[in-house]
């Protein structure tokens, strides 16, 4: 199977459509699939639902799709740093499904493993539990959360071989492996594609069985929050 494509737009061809549920890796601006997000913007697909830890910032990450009104719903953990997100949510233009971060990661991982639901203590007794089944195990209450089965996964990795085996770089791994697992189709953007067999099998973070398409590109790697101090002397 050919997995390497020439560009983000080429990799999305025949896969992206209106109304999709897309699982997107990244945390803040770290490890986000910025090239694929830009290509989705240029494609114009609309009424999209994104399962992602956050929505980027106003002019980067998923934030660029909020500006063009291509996103109808976010399934997220953290939605700060994005004024347009706040405006759309408070005005009723954008649906929001809040998830604790661990729950969101496990929902993605569960979907990738074919698990339709699991019980967790996180959120018991809070608004997170509203409308969800509650079950008691060993005297403790747990709520039922559903696995996420996305139509498409878009993720960012450091290296890939031509069969899709992936290595992530340090904290940029974050939500990327579970996001990659839960999509019917997974597209990955990487900084480097190496020949098959050149990666140490013990260093591979995600096996290529989950990956359908790969692109290589240049990445901006923005810093979301920069704190500096004046030099002394």
CA gap 50, 32 in Å, rounded: 13
pLDDT interval class at 81 (50, 70, 90): confident
Domain ranges of the chain: 8-114+149-216
Asked whether 222 and 81 are in contact (CB, 8 A), the reply is: no
- Give me the mean pLDDT over the 89-93 stretch: 94
- Give me the mean pLDDT over the 123-138 stretch: 96
Tokens of 27: 């945390």
Asked whether 50 and 75 are in contact (CB, 8 A), the reply is: yes
pLDDT interval class at 227 (50, 70, 90): confident
Question: What's the confidence (pLDDT) of residue 91?
Answer: 95
DSSP assigned state of 102? H
CA gap 225, 83 in Å, rounded: 15
CA gap 176, 139 in Å, rounded: 35
CA gap 180, 176 in Å, rounded: 6
pLDDT interval class at 223 (50, 70, 90): confident
In this structure, CATH architecture of domain 8-114+149-216 = 3-Layer(aba) Sandwich (3.40)
Question: What's the confidence (pLDDT) of residue 224?
Answer: 74
95 DSSP β-pair partners: 73
Question: What's the confidence (pLDDT) of residue 180?
Answer: 98
């Amino acid at each position: 199977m050919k997995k390497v494509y020439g560009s983000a737009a080429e990799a999305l061809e025949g896969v992206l459509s209106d109304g999709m549920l897309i699982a997107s890796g990244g945390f803040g601006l770290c490890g986000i699939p910025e090239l694929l997000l830009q290509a989705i913007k240029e494609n114009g697909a609309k009424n999209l639902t994104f399962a992602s830890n956050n929505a980027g910032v106003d002019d980067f990450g998923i934030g660029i799709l909020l500006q063009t009104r291509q996103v109808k719903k976010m399934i997220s953990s953290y939605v700060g740093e994005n004024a347009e997100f706040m405006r759309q949510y408070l005005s009723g233009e954008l649906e929001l499904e809040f998830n604790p971060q661990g729950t969101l990661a496990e929902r993605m991982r569960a979907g990738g493993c074919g698990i339709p639901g699991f019980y967790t203590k996180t959120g018991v007794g809070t608004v997170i539990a509203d409308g969800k089944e509650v079950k008691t195990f060993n005297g403790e209450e747990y709520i039922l959360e559903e696995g996420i089965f996305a139509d498409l996964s878009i993720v960012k990795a450091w290296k890939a071989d031509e069969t899709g085996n992936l290595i992530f770089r340090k904290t940029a791994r974050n939500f990327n492996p579970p996001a990659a697992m839960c999509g019917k189709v997974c597209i990955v953007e990487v900084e480097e594609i190496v020949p098959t067999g050149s990666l140490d099998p013990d260093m591979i973070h995600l096996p290529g069985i989950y990956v359908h398409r790969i692109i290589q590109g240049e990445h901006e790697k923005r810093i979301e929050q920069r704190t500096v101090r004046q030099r002394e002397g």
